[in-house]
Amino acid sequence: MPATPMSKAEREQGDARVFDLSLHSLRELNQALHKLTPGSNETAWEVLNPKGSHSVAVGVDQPVSIDVRGSVGYYCAGMNDGAAITVHGSAGPGVGENMMSGSIVIKGDASQYAGATGRGGLLVIEGNASSRCGISMKGIDIVVHGNIGHMSAFMAQSGNLVVLGDAGDALGDSIYEARLFVRGKVESLGADCIAKEMRPEHIELLQGLLDKAGVTGVKASEFKRYGSARKLYNFNIDNADAY
Amino acid sequence: MCGIVGLFLKDKALEPKLGAMLSEMLVSLSDRGPDSAGIAIYGAATGNEAKITVQSPKADRDFRGLDAELAKAIGAPVSVAVNSTHAVIRTTPDKVDAAREALQTLRPDIRIMGAGEAVEIYKEVGLPETVVDRFHVRSMTGTHGIGHTRMATESAVTTMGAHPFSTGADQCLVHNGSLSNHNNVRRELIRDGMKFETENDTEVAAAYLSNRMAHGKNLGEALEGTLSDLDGFFTFVVGTKNGFGVVRDPIACKPAVMAETDQYVAFGSEYRALTKLPGIDNARVWEPEPATVYFWEH
């Protein structure tokens, strides 16, 4: 990509590569991030003026840190594989969709289907997440400081969803083996999702996740655990008449 | 997909800028729907004047001499302000129905976009930028307004298929989504005396609200009714003479963001639409809850 003249903000940032989306296109930003190779010296990035742009920092596959100053639109940090991405604002639908590894921190709220289909890494939402948070999650860890909306963890396969606030309707509908930890109230549980006993290994796992997400002043023992009743795993012959 | 916006001003000082702010919001969502765009803008109602916004595919021919002919037909003073393919007809409030009827014979090609004491509605096929330029929306003033940019799914890309839809005095609606029981609801509403101009699903939603309000419900109650009586995907933004309301279906997969400051309440399909509003960085920004009615009135 063409050399970017150093801005005042960039000089003040020291080594961080500053990318101002009011001056450069989103495609230039994402191409520059995709061109990073292992061992690159450009390990710190700062993105200015996102103003609700879609697809900011998608598909990053190097362990760099990216600070986005402001709110983003759809699909921010999707498919992240190893980067540490922080959004200093709120995120639109589909943040961190299909994350493989690394971390994403949203300082504000996240819209629907945050962390959908995520396979690994840690997604932290410091505000609230809306509907379908962690839908079809497959190994990602999601920690939400606030509340989550309806149909969260729908068909969640593996990984952990931790909610410090409340959960909306139909939590964990048709869930497989993901673990759900909710500190507040759950509006309703979805099909085949049940409350489960918090055993010492769950307390330990949850404490580890809270620590990793930088949550303080909250004890793992304050949470309830929810997971699959495993009643939908096999066809129940008594239901044959329904088909 | 579609993009929708709404802006309700609390601060009178912003009223001269309503058209410019709403245009900016709508244009920023152009890539959510390039088929057609429309805007409804509400000015202060004076109580002694009614406005009928009309459209004609042959504006030059249809609007020429219309003021005198219509005045003669209804026996009341009439003024006609032409704005591109649209015109705003002003007359006394008691003559609106007579004027609608007279227009059918005087100018059979004219379509009525909406009528009321406060509302003016402008919509055409084309990008939001083209549509707001064509009607000089940026220079319009008012108290509140709503806008829509369309990606058509349920009916043809025509002027009449564009949003906002108005089916009652000073009432209009924009919609992101698609309704699946609109044919049934349309039949029921026709039986109750409602009239329809198109095969469009959104017109049914607008007529449903007008019908409920004609049966004595307020805007909030009418919006509440959509949750049980309309099936499908929807985020609706609705305008009335002095207010503005929002409701999302219980599944709420059609996006919505709201912002409120001391100066305004704003709605956008996405946060992008709100980024140029004054004081947005310190506004309360939130996502409206599913199956929850929000409305503000002056």
Count how many pairs of residues, chain A against chain B, have C-beta atoms within 8 Å.
40
Give this prediction's pTM: 0.92
Architecture in CATH of B46-117: 2-Layer Sandwich (3.30)
Strands (DSSP E) along chain B, which ranges? 3-9, 36-42, 50-55, 79-83, 86-91, 111-116, 119-125, 144-150, 165-168, 171-179, 232-239, 243-248, 257-260, 264-268, 284-286, 294-297
User: On the CB side of A173, how many CA atoms lie within 13 Å of its CA?
Assistant: 15
Look at residue B219 in the predicted model and tell me its pLDDT: 87
CA distance A153 to A162: 11
Looking at the DSSP assignment, which residues form a beta bridge with residue A196? A225
Please give, rounded to a whole number of angstroms, the shortest distance from the CA of A10 to a CA of chain B.
Answer: 22
Look at residue A239 in the predicted model and tell me its pLDDT: 86
B61 is written with which tokens? 């021919």
Architecture in CATH of B3-45+122-297: 4-Layer Sandwich (3.60)
| Residue A83 parent element (H or E) | strand A81-87
- Active-site residue, from B2, B87, B102, B256: B2
What ranges do the domains of chain B cover? 3-45+122-297, 46-117
Which residues from chain A sit within 8 angstroms of residue B257, using beta carbons? Answer: 111
Is the bond preceding residue B250 a cis peptide, omega within 30 degrees?
no
Look at residue B222 in the predicted model and tell me its pLDDT: 94
Suggest the residue from B258, B271, B276 to mutate for an interface test with chain A (most A CBs closer than 10 A).
B271
Please give, rounded to a whole number of angstroms, the shortest distance from the CA of B151 to a CA of chain A.
Answer: 18
Say yes or no: A86 contacts chain B, CB-CB below 8 A: no
Non-local CB neighbours of B42 within 8 Å, separated by 6+ positions: B118, B119, B120, B142, B143, B144, B145, B170, B239, B241
Look at residue A4 in the predicted model and tell me its pLDDT: 44
Hey, are the CB atoms on B270 and A109 less than 8 Å from each other?
no
Hey, are the CB atoms on A149 and B255 less than 8 Å from each other?
no
The ipTM value here is: 0.91
Considering only the beta carbons, identify the residue of A51, A130, A150 that sits closest to B287: A130
Please give, rounded to a whole number of angstroms, the shortest distance from the CA of B148 to a CA of chain A.
Answer: 19
Considering only the beta carbons, identify the residue of B252, B270, B275 that sits closest to A92: B270
Burial status of residue A227 (CB atoms within 10 A of its CB: 0-12, 13-18, 19 or more): buried
Say yes or no: A149 contacts chain B, CB-CB below 8 A: yes
B178 is written with which tokens? 């698609």
Which residues from chain B sit within 8 angstroms of residue A92, using beta carbons? Answer: 255, 270-271
Local confidence pLDDT in tens for the 298 residues of chain B: 899 999 999 999 999 999 999 999 999 999 999 999 999 999 978 889 999 999 999 999 999 999 999 999 999 999 999 999 999 999 999 999 999 999 999 999 999 999 999 999 999 999 999 999 999 999 999 999 999 999 988 788 999 999 999 999 999 999 999 999 999 999 999 999 999 989 999 999 999 999 999 999 988 899 999 999 999 999 999 999 988 999 999 999 999 999 999 999 999 999 999 999 999 999 999 999 999 999 998 8
Q: Per-10-residue mean pLDDT for chain A, 243 residues long?
A: 44 74 97 96 96 98 98 98 98 98 98 98 98 98 98 98 98 98 98 97 98 96 98 88 86
Strand order in the sheet with A65-69: A17-20, A44-48, A65-69, A81-87, A101-106, A122-125, A138-144, A158-163, A179-182, A224-228, A193-196
DSSP letters for A174-233: T--S-EEEESS-BS-B-TTEEEE---HHHHHHHHHHHHHTT--S--GGG-EEEEE---SS
Q: Is B253 a residue of the active site? A: no
Non-local CB neighbours of A234 within 8 Å, separated by 6+ positions: none
Which residues from chain B sit within 8 angstroms of residue A130, using beta carbons? Answer: 252, 287
Look at residue B281 in the predicted model and tell me its pLDDT: 93
CA distance A74 to B271: 10
